[in-house]
Amino acid sequence: MQKLEGKLRAYPWGSHTLLAELRGLETPAATPEAELWFGAHPSAPSTIGGVGLDEIIAADPDAALGPRVREIFGDRLPFLLKLLAADEPLSIQAHPSAEQASEGFRRENAAGVPSDSPRRNYRDDHHKPELLVALTEFHALVGFRPYEKTRQLFDALACPALDHYAAMIDPTREEASLRALFTTWISIPSAQRETLVAEVSDCARPLAADQTWIGRTARNFLSIVEQYPKDAGVLAVLLLNHVAMVPGQALFIAAGQLHAYLRGMGVEIMANSDNVLRGGLTPKHVDVPELVRILDFGPLEEPFASSVDDGDARRFEAPCADFVLRRHTLAAGREHSFASDGPAILLCTSGSCACGAAIELSPGEAAWIPASEPAVAVAAGSEGCEVFYATA
């Protein structure tokens, strides 16, 4: 077991305070701190004593990963663990399935698209399911809202400019209708879109004081319009579930599920991939036909991920083999033994803990546990601790 140094990512949508406060550093931070990565992703691997975790794994993959993980995933760590802190919306996006990623990666390779091209959609041939557990109040857009609730929203807006588009949704052909409406909205000429957004905004303002989900959706729409008034993805906000999570709640983002994180801090774990298809709220490459091709337009009734008791921990359910995430809350002085036949990362998010005799973790710090490591004892400090245990 060794201390793992995370890699800080300073994206424009990041927070100047959340990650700094968690780590006990001076606030506000000089740059927006968006993500702290713990893993072996080739673009920003964590380090141990200045050496990249990807290099450490490559030097002895059997000891690092173990035979079970190597048999399924080869010589790579299959997951990436992050602390994520957003003050502004991330791009509206979706991730491909394993089959779509494999096909898209081969197709772009055959077309000669450079691997580092900003116009590349598929940077590897892996899928990218994601699980996020809220550490603060956390807001997100996740999945297409069921037809009946979207109809209620359109009725409440009472916007004549929406009437033509509302008529496109046929409850007997819900998925096909949403595909047609989303494709229309994300593709219409900019001048027409700006006029439509302005008219919908006028109708949304009287609803913003409402404390129901409709009022929350109206406030969210107006906030995003203020930040991205001419963006192609703004109208999609009207079709997506707006999720407001309290600490401890979790989301699972499956393949093809359109989503955007809006604000808040959480622990995120995902398959170790860099495949993102974007639909707006970003200056980065947007490929509408490819995004529409991989999207799941089925209505999402329940965007939250379930969790179950697992001894003294909470295990978050994720229907994929790439990762397992558990949250352990230990009272002061209490000890827990972690044992696994695969690689693991232990991340502290509150309090402090001692890992064996040589490693102490404070909030925002992590440790690498290779597959060859025997059981590791973790003892909570005088204030207790909360730690997340990630493995394959």
* 283 three-state secondary structure: coil
Q: Is 278 annotated in the active site?
A: yes
Q: Which residues contact 288 (CB under 8 A, 6 or more apart)?
A: 183, 186, 187, 232, 279
Which amino acid, residue 243?
Answer: V
165 within 8 A of 153, measured Cβ to Cβ = no
**Which residues carry a binding-site annotation for Zn(2+)?**
93, 95, 130, 259
CA angle 167, 301, 100 (to 5 degrees): 85
User: How far is the C-alpha of 215 from the C-alpha of 219, rounded, in Å?
Assistant: 6
The values of phi and psi at residue 104, to 5°, are -65, -40
Is 368 strand, coil or helix? strand
| CB hemisphere CA count around 140 (13 angstroms) | 31
Burial class (CB within 10 angstroms; exposed 0-12, middle 13-18, buried 19+) of 311: exposed
Q: Which of 76, 120, 263, 278 is catalytic?
A: 278
For residue 4, what is the enclosing H or E element? Answer: strand 2-4
CA atoms within 13 A on the CB side of 216: 12
Binding positions: 93, 95, 130, 259
The residue with tokens 């601790």 is: 385
Contact assessment for residue 388 and residue 346, using Cβ atoms and an 8 Å cutoff: yes
Show which residues are catalytic.
Answer: 278
